[in-house]
Amino acid sequence: MTTLSLPLNSVAAQHVFAAVNEGLLSSPKALPAWLFYDETGSRLFDRITELPEYYPTRTERAIFAANAAEIIALAADSHALQIIELGAGSCDKTRILLQAAVERQDTVLYEPVDVSPAPLEEARERIEREIPGVLVSPRVQDYTRSLALDPPLSGERRLVLYIGSSIGNFEPAEAHALLAEIRSTLDPGDTLLVGVDLVKEEALLHAAYNDEAGVTEAFNRNLLHRLNRELGANFKPDLFAHRAIWNPQHSRIEMHLESLLRQIVTIPGCHTESGTGRDMQIEFARGETIHTENSYKYRPGQTESMLESVGFTPLKTWTDKRGWFAVSLARAA
């Protein structure tokens, strides 16, 4: 096993290199889902949310449209709210909740958190233009590594949004740890709103991650393009096939990139103050995969139990009429 030398002056590059070292030199091979979300990946994901097969975004949006005023009122109680969103992206659905907050309290501070700065800046300009009364304060941060929230403004409470079934990308133990980390940053009385995708017919799940237009395939392969761009790797993405399968045992959709032939990929070493790093050679057998993402699907009541286990008191859960998606609000106890 060859370990890459890391550029001493780039924390971001070290983070990517560390993920590649750990994931591609392991067996089976895997890479963390956060690598999807460079600028190109973020834009591809926005396109995914608009696909006819991809029901989660429009279903969650409909829940917000029908219940935004109640969600905001329950979260605020008798206080003013400031709203923080983890993994905000384009903030499209969030505008519904922000509008409800402005109607209730005239002005609201909104802090979207994401790893990609471009969508955050576009969202800031759009929201402040379309919803007067919202002050947007974006934060570029990988909340999965370190979560640091500013204390609330005097007399206000914080509502943290973790929507879009983002929690489903984590293994159960990781999801529990992340929710516990969120809870540790909040004061009693603050709230957390979590959106989760629910278990449903396999055909619906399969279609959502294998769209006819091939956008999800491009999103998956862009991870390899990113490693080529940022690390100088020589992946040939067309020699890897997009695979998205339902794993009923673990109640999750799994995304993989499957090598179509036996091949060797090289990632160059890096220059450091102490010398030059060695190249990393990664061998792929035909049919071998890189596991790139999990998307866990939950059963009714499962989210509320998770929230209770880390110190939240569930307040209410909203679902759509078909029972495809659920949004749960809980207060820090």
How does pLDDT run across 105-160, given as a tens digit for each residue?
A: 999 999 999 887 888 888 899 999 999 999 999 998 888 877 888 888 888 999 99
The pLDDT value recorded for residue 149 is 84
- One-letter amino acid for residue 135 of the chain: L
Tell me how far apart the alpha carbons of residues 22 and 24 are, in angstroms, rounded to a whole number: 6
Q: What integer pLDDT is reported at residue 11 of this predicted model? A: 63
**Cα atoms in the Cβ-side hemisphere of radius 13 Å centred on 111:** 17
- Angle, helices 302-309 vs 172-185, to 10°: value is 50
**Within its chain, how far is the Cα of 154 from the centroid?**
30
Tokens encoding 297: 């699907």
Distance CA 77, CA 218 (A): 44
The Cα-based distances of 77 to 66, 81, 96, 329 in angstroms read 19, 9, 19, 13
Predicted pLDDT of residue 279: 84
Which residues neighbour 198 within 8 Å (Cβ) at sequence distance 6 or greater? 297, 298, 299, 300, 319, 323, 324, 325, 326
Report pTM: 0.89
Q: Quick one: pLDDT at residue 146?
A: 78
Q: What is the pLDDT of residue 223?
A: 96
Tokens of 205: 């799940």
> How far is the C-alpha of 267 from the C-alpha of 278, rounded, in Å?
9
For residues 267, 272, 278, 279, the Cα torsion angle rounded to the nearest 10 degrees is 10
Q: What value does the CA radius of gyration of the chain take, rounded to a whole number of Å?
A: 21
Residue 174: how many other CB atoms lie within 10 Å:
13
Pairing relation of β-strands 156-162 and 191-197?
parallel
Measured CA to CA, the distance from residue 227 to residue 79 in angstroms comes to: 46
Cβ–Cβ under 8 Å, residues 298 and 196: yes
3-state secondary structure of 92: coil
pLDDT of residue 89: 77
**Which residue matches tokens 């999990």?**
294
> Which residue is listed with tokens 């409800």?
100
Who's near 4: CB < 8 A, 6+ residues apart? 17, 20, 21, 267, 269, 270, 277, 278, 280
Note down pLDDT in tens along the chain; length 333 residues. 333 434 434 566 777 888 898 999 999 999 999 899 888 998 999 999 999 999 999 999 999 999 999 999 999 999 999 999 998 877 889 999 999 999 999 999 999 998 878 888 888 999 999 999 999 999 988 888 778 888 888 889 999 999 999 999 999 999 999 999 999 999 999 999 999 999 999 999 999 999 999 999 999 999 999 999 989 999 999 999 999 999 999 999 999 999 999 999 999 875 444 445 678 899 999 999 999 999 999 999 999 999 999 999 999 999 999 999 999 999 998
